[in-house]
């Protein structure tokens, strides 16, 4: 069949009318009965108009006119379809998840995702996706959250809090993490924090650091369940900020935290 750019354009229009803003190259080639070369030419022409963008591999997104200024869809429109296409477990995490839970004092500049293996960042137009990984992604780490195009996995408030500590370098300085916790605390359940520790889903050092911050910031949350969960483990002295080269300035015996950074959250 001869190459006809309008065929692909019509396919994209039909997909949008049905609420689907993504496709795979294989899917289009098989549906339209066109050659790979014909697809490449048509998609190139449309991509120059910012009507579509290739995310990675053969996964493409359709960019409607209202989003062409940023040359991409918002990440939350396609992240679920993208991760399912690559058959990878995931959840939206860290500052992106915190913002979705109401801790939006400072909007994150990147869309942060946790999956089970390393993935390179993705930049498409003005949208940047950043991936972090942990060995195992369990279903109770996240909850479904509605998006314009369906749903996506978002870490629970409690897992978000622990992940902000675990991936502190990606969450900003410790003072920024403290600022986020001041807003996130309203949605934290003390028993659920403790349960994640009891089920061995959280490293001891991460639980210590979170407990110390919640305690030292005098946030309105019962920290006793978390403390009791930690008492069931062997707790040793840990630096507040593991990556910092600053000297220890104080020591908190309750949480066994050597304080090597001053914590100064923003005023909210």
Q: Does domain 5-67 bear CATH number 1.10.10.10?
A: yes
Q: What pLDDT sits at residue 107?
A: 74
Hey, which CATH number is domain 75-259, 1.10.405, 1.10.10, 2.40.50, 3.30.460? 3.30.460
pTM, to two decimals:
0.93
What does the alpha-carbon distance between residue 74 and residue 174 come to, in Å, rounded to a whole number? 28
Strand partners for 22: 61
152 touches 145 (CB < 8 A)? yes
Q: What pLDDT sits at residue 104?
A: 77
CA-closest candidate to residue 140, choices 79, 201, 94: 201
pLDDT digit string (tens) for 107-150? Answer: 788 999 999 999 999 999 999 999 999 999 999 999 999 999 99
- CA trace torsion 151, 156, 161, 164 (10° rounding): -30
Q: What pLDDT sits at residue 2?
A: 47
CA-closest candidate to residue 206, choices 193, 221, 217: 193
Task: Name the segment(s) of the chain with CATH classification 3.30.460.
Answer: 75-259
User: How many C-alpha atoms does 41 have within 13 Å on its Cβ side?
Assistant: 11
Task: Name the segment(s) of the chain with CATH classification 1.10.10.10.
Answer: 5-67
Q: Residue 251: enclosing H or E segment and its boundaries?
A: strand 250-252
Q: What pLDDT sits at residue 172?
A: 87
What does the alpha-carbon distance between residue 123 and residue 86 come to, in Å, rounded to a whole number? 17
pLDDT digit string (tens) for 60-73? Answer: 999 999 999 999 99
pLDDT-flagged residues of the chain (< 50): 1-3
């Amino acid at each position: 069949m001869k190459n006809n750019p309008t065929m692909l354009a019509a396919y994209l229009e039909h997909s949008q009318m049905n609420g689907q803003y993504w496709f795979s190259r294989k899917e289009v080639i098989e549906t339209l009965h066109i050659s790979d070369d014909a697809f490449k030419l048509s998609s190139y022409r449309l991509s120059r108009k910012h009507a579509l963008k290739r995310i990675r591999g053969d996964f493409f997104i359709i960019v409607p006119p209202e989003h062409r200024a940023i040359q991409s869809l918002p990440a939350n429109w396609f992240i679920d379809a993208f991760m399912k296409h690559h058959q990878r477990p995931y959840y939206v995490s860290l500052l992106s998840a915190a913002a979705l839970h109401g801790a939006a004092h400072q909007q994150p500049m990147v869309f942060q995702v946790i999956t089970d293996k390393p993935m390179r960042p993705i930049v498409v137009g003005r949208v940047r996706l950043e991936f972090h990984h942990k060995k195992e992604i369990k279903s109770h780490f996240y909850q479904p959250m509605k998006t314009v195009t369906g749903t996506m996995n978002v870490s629970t408030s409690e897992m978000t809090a622990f992940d902000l500590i675990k991936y502190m370098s990606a969450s900003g300085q410790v003072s920024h993490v403290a600022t986020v916790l001041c807003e996130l605390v309203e949605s934290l359940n003390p028993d659920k924090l403790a349960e994640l520790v009891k089920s061995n889903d959280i490293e001891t050092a991460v639980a210590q650091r979170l407990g110390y911050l919640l305690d030292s910031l005098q946030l309105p949350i019962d920290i006793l369940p978390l403390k009791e969960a930690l008492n069931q483990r062997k707790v040793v002295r840990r630096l507040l900020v593991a990556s910092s080269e600053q000297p220890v300035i104080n020591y908190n015996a309750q949480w066994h935290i050597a304080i090597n950074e001053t914590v100064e959250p923003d005023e909210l």
